């Protein structure tokens, strides 16, 4: 039985056709959360200069955020376990608003790090619970596409939020960007309050049952794939602004355009990933990773020219984000009897990968690796994710054969 199967028939009949507004509310919230996570990368030089730290040190703001998602979000999910799912989502948005205001007002690097950690606490819990809610308010055959619709806000954060937030920060100061993100978050909170159903078909978490679901080997393998694939992305993307400025020779305006192009790729990848997951989930994950490895190897060469870098970055965005919905859907499927905590932990896995990738990339730079060499690290990590996905698929096939006997 899956989450969607557990929806009461009367609720499913009444809500399946009216799920667009709840999904839109979840999308607006994911847009605001995604913007606050990723916009820091476009503002790294500004933050570093203002707070008088090096760019690799400023890059630790990405690591701190990601580690907070990975290790803090599950505790926040447990802390809200007694709430119904609608109230839990609204409580998480309240944490998000306080955290962003604290980022905007932070007087020092240490205080900004603390504010980023606070903001990140809601991230994994919101996306984990939001994915479960999105899957539960649509028909079973549209589950992955519903999750992709929620994550569409995250992709739009990269298309619109990150480049415009970066440009806004360059024009008015990086602090103003976080004030603007807080305003969007407030709008998202009102949308969730107005449009989420008051009686969602998902009860508060049963922590013992949720914990047992984590023993599933396929859940564990999927989370490992999430970690390594995210590490592949963030080992390069964390430092994309200095890479494009120093290697490709772009101006800050040119970097903003590249981030916009990358965001377009993410949007296309998100839509593609939802359809692929509802079609053939694990073969799609393997195929995407198989394409990602050589693409990152090519980026070492293509990053030296603006036109070839643009093409590579666009394709990189498509493939990287096409992996998100299939991996999140797989966790929800494999932990179907207790998906809340597993779904949240998979969001933590993605962000643990963000932290690992940012740290590996930063360590490489500290040891003397040129910005142009960072894609080699991303390619190696993508190859490891491909190996894990192949192992998971073979175990799945073996289980299917045993069930047929």
Q: In order of start, what are the domains of the chain with their CATH numbers?
A: 4-404 (1.20.1250.20)
What's the whole-number mean pLDDT along residues 95-116?
A: 94
Confidence of residue 18 (pLDDT cuts 50, 70, 90): low
Nearest-CA neighbor of 274 among 326, 222, 230? 326
Q: What is the pLDDT of residues 219-249, one digit of tens each?
A: 899 999 999 999 999 999 988 888 999 999 9
Nearest-CA neighbor of 319 among 343, 290, 360, 342? 290
Task: Give CA–CA dist 42/184, Å, rounded.
Answer: 19
Task: Give CA–CA dist 93/97, Å, rounded.
Answer: 6
What was the pLDDT predicted at 293? Answer: 97
Task: Give CA–CA dist 319/261, Å, rounded.
Answer: 14
Nearest-CA neighbor of 155 among 72, 269, 19? 269
What was the pLDDT predicted at 203? Answer: 65
What was the pLDDT predicted at 235? Answer: 93
Q: What is the pLDDT of residues 80-93, one digit of tens each?
A: 877 888 888 999 99
Does the pLDDT of residue 4 top 60, yes or no? no
The pTM of this model reads 0.77
Q: What is the pLDDT of residues 338-359, one digit of tens each?
A: 677 888 888 888 878 888 898 8
Q: What is the pLDDT of residues 61-78, one digit of tens each?
A: 988 887 888 888 888 888
Does the pLDDT of residue 404 top 80, yes or no? no
Torsion of CA 201, 207, 212, 217, to 10 degrees: 70
Nearest-CA neighbor of 335 among 343, 324, 327? 343
What's the whole-number mean pLDDT along residues 47-51?
A: 91
Task: Give CA–CA dist 288/219, Å, rounded.
Answer: 19
What's the whole-number mean pLDDT along residues 311-331?
A: 92
What was the pLDDT predicted at 313? Answer: 95
Confidence of residue 204 (pLDDT cuts 50, 70, 90): low
């Amino acid at each position: 039985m899956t989450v969607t199967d557990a929806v009461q028939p009367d609720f499913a009949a009444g809500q399946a056709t009216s799920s667009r507004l709840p999904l839109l509310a979840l999308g607006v919230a994911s847009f605001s959360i995604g913007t606050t996570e990723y916009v820091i990368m476009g503002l790294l030089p500004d933050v570093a200069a203002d707070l008088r730290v090096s760019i690799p040190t400023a890059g630790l703001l990405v690591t701190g955020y990601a580690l907070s998602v990975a290790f803090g979000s599950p505790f926040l999910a447990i802390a809200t376990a007694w709430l119904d799912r609608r109230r839990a989502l609204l409580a998480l948005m309240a944490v998000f608003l306080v955290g962003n205001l604290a980022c905007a007002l932070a007087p020092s690097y240490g205080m900004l790090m603390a504010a980023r950690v606070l903001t990140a606490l809601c991230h994994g819990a919101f996306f984990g619970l939001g994915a479960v809610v999105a899957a539960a308010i649509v028909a079973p055959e549209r589950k992955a596409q519903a999750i992709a619709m929620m994550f569409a806000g995250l992709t739009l954060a990269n298309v619109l939020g990150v480049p415009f937030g970066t440009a806004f920060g360059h024009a008015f100061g990086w602090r103003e960007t976080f004030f603007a993100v807080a305003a969007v978050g407030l709008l998202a909170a009102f949308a969730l309050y107005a449009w989420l159903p008051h009686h969602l078909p998902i009860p508060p978490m049963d922590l013992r049952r949720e914990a047992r679901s984590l023993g599933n080997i396929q859940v564990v393998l999927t989370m490992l794939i999430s970690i390594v694939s995210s590490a592949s992305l963030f080992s390069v993307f964390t430092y994309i602004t200095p890479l494009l400025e120093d290697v490709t020779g772009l101006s800050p305006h040119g970097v903003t355009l590249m981030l916009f192009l990358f965001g377009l790729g993410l949007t296309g990848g998100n839509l593609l990933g939802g359809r692929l997951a509802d079609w053939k989930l694990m073969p799609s994950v393997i195929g995407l990773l198989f394409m990602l490895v050589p693409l990152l190897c090519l980026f070492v060469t293509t990053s030296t020219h603006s036109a070839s870098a643009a093409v590579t970055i666009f394709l990189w965005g498509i493939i990287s984000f096409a992996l998100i919905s299939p991996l999140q859907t797989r966790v929800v499927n494999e932990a179907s009897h207790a998906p809340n905590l597993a779904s949240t932990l998979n969001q933590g896995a993605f962000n643990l990968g963000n932290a690992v990738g940012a740290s590996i990339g930063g360590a490489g730079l500290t040891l003397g690796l040129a910005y142009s060499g960072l894609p080699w690290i991303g390619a190696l990590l993508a190859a490891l994710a491909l190996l894990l996905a192949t192992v998971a698929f073979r175990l799945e096939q073996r289980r299917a054969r045993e069930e047929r006997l």
